[in-house]
Amino acid sequence: MNILLLGYGKMGQLIGEIAESRGHNLAGKINIDNREDLDQLNSSNVDVAIEFSQPEAAVENIKWCLEKGIPIVSGTTGWLSQKPDIEAMTKEKNGTFFYASNFSIGVNVFFKVNEFLAKLMNETSGYKASIEEIHHTAKKDAPSGTAITLAEGILNNNSSLKDWYLLEGNGEKENELPIVSKRIDPAPGTHIIRYQSEIDDIEISHTAHSRQGFALGAILVAEWIKDKKGVLSMNDFLSF
């Protein structure tokens, strides 16, 4: 399979290494320094694109792929206010767009555990929910896309919470879910869900030991998505 890499930072490089180790070819490696190379790229030689760039570049990268009829797998976070437009364009072009805030199989199992726990806690009074996420200092967006997905999983299953917010300082909000974001090197990613009460605390967490799981997951999705159409997610891939 010929794979176009859109974004060639640490994640893009690792994805490229794993792709080649699995017998795939790299049709191109595009980053901020050679973005103009897309104009010379023969899109007919690309089977699928994997997009791990920056929030300010993601939307244009995705649109370029949809215009060219290239299935695209995106893991860039921090641009999701424009995701409805991308989904509409995917349907209009009869294209293929796959987005996940996290491609790790373990994290996606964690998402489901989080939703199940949220349902249980919705029937239990006296507990205050919160999220804490820890990433390396090079990560620009806060909270992380994974933390937002976890927050959505809680909000969809908790009738008392209206929204999530980034907790900065001591300004807690009533009936909203706080997310604490920390940037500490070399942490690749830790996410902690807490339910605290005067009597006890309940906590679940996921800690990534490296980027390997994220990169491999993106490749597995790219292999799976090649002949599919529509707006797709990890739920489709994993059949949860």
Catalytic site positions: 135, 139
Closest CA to 61 of 10, 12, 1, 94: 12
Give helix 105-122 / helix 145-155 axis angle, nearest 10°: 30
> Rounded distance, CA 136 to CA 98, Å?
25
Phi/psi of residue 70, nearest 5 degrees: -100, 125
CA angle 95, 140, 174 (to 5 degrees): 95
> Tokens 């180790």 correspond to what residue?
21
